[in-house]
């Protein structure tokens, strides 16, 4: 009988393989380059990077299985108390070339905490998938959210509205008038098994969300990847990529966790887009397609 830890590791590696195959098929040219790395304190990961494709300008689908002793920095900054810890997850970001194809991010993970005897004293699950379009196609937004609503509803009908709100309230550049990074999706964290929902139940939920990624995202890519675009469209994409970069470097807990636990810097910063713009006080023309996207980022929409 496999332990929850072993079951989850096996699932995460299988999901990485399936997502990479789907992304390569959609791109039609570029293939993922694999980099297997180890972490001196314990564990390691598989980083897979795609670049300069027909569709994807830059992207990565990473898995990591890392563990070690709880450090003073983790206690003070991450509020983690215990003797040792284990974390396993998949994290991906895909930045398309075409401004009409959205950027996408997802992450699914399990964390365990142990006492000095090696007994598991705490365990939680977290994850989510969110969409960052540069131009707003409402049918794409509805499709993306509907796929995740369907996945959530099989477990608890209260999950989707709750986790969508958590997502809308998490990927926020608070320093920019509460401007969201994109149009959301789902996000959950610190979900602990209890007497009603055991570790296998939460693992099954994480798997259902992870498995939904291809259904939610790839059809949008296929629909938009051959749309012609202009330099002006690309300029706006780079402005919005700047917002993406700001969030990841200033607010993202995953980035901060990686930096505080001596994570692999190349894997942590893989999420950043290849080219960005920071222009002083840039504002899209009111009523333009660019402004329509910005308004959806300032005022989250209930897409389903």
Identify the H or E element spanning 40. none
- The C-alpha atoms of residue 28 and residue 186 are separated, in whole angstroms, by 29
| Residues ≥6 apart with Cβ < 8 Å to 125 | 108, 109, 110, 111, 188, 191, 192, 202, 203, 205, 206
- The C-alpha atoms of residue 105 and residue 98 are separated, in whole angstroms, by 17
H helix count then E strand count, the chain: 9, 9
Which residues are paired to 60 by β-bridges?
49, 93
Helix, strand, coil shares of the chain, percent, nearest 5, are 45, 25, 30
- The C-alpha atoms of residue 220 and residue 214 are separated, in whole angstroms, by 10
- The C-alpha atoms of residue 47 and residue 44 are separated, in whole angstroms, by 10
Task: Mark whether 196 is an active-site residue.
Answer: no
Among 170, 177, 184, smallest CA distance to 251 is for 170
Active-site residue (options: 95, 105, 143, 145): 105
Q: C-alpha angle 83/250/178, rounded to 5°?
A: 120
Catalogue the active-site residues. 105
């Amino acid at each position: 009988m496999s332990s929850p830890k072993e079951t989850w590791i096996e699932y995460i590696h299988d999901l990485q393989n399936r997502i990479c195959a789907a992304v390569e098929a959609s791109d039609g040219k570029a293939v993922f380059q694999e980099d297997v790395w180890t972490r001196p304190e314990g564990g390691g990961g598989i980083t897979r990077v795609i670049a300069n494709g027909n569709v994807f300008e830059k992207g990565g689908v990473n898995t990591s299985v890392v563990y070690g002793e709880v450090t003073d920095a983790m206690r003070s900054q991450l509020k983690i108390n215990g003797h040792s810890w284990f974390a396993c997850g998949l994290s991906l970001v895909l930045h398309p070339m075409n401004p009409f194809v959205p950027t996408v991010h997802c992450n699914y993970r399990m964390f365990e905490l142990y006492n000095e005897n090696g007994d598991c004293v705490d365990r939680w699950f977290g994850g989510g998938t969110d969409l960052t379009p540069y131009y707003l196609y409402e049918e794409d937004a509805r499709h993306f959210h509907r796929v995740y609503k369907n996945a959530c509803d099989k477990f608890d009908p209260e999950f989707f509205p709750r986790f969508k709100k958590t997502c809308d309230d998490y990927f926020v550049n608070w320093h920019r008038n509460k401007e969201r990074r994109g149009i959301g999706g789902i996000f959950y964290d610190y979900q602990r098994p209890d007497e009603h929902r055991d570790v296998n139940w939460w693992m099954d939920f994480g798997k259902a969300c992870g498995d939904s990624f291809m259904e939610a995202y790839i059809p949008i890519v296929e629909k938009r990847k051959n749309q012609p675009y202009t330099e002006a469209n690309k300029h706006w994409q780079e402005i919005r990529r700047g917002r993406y970069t700001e969030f990841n470097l200033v607010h993202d807990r995953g980035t901060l966790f990686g930096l505080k636990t001596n994570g692999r810097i190349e894997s942590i910063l893989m999420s950043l887009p290849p080219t960005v713009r920071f222009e002083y006080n840039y504002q899209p023309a009111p009523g333009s397609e660019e402004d329509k996207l910005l308004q959806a980022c300032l005022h989250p929409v209930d897409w389903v």
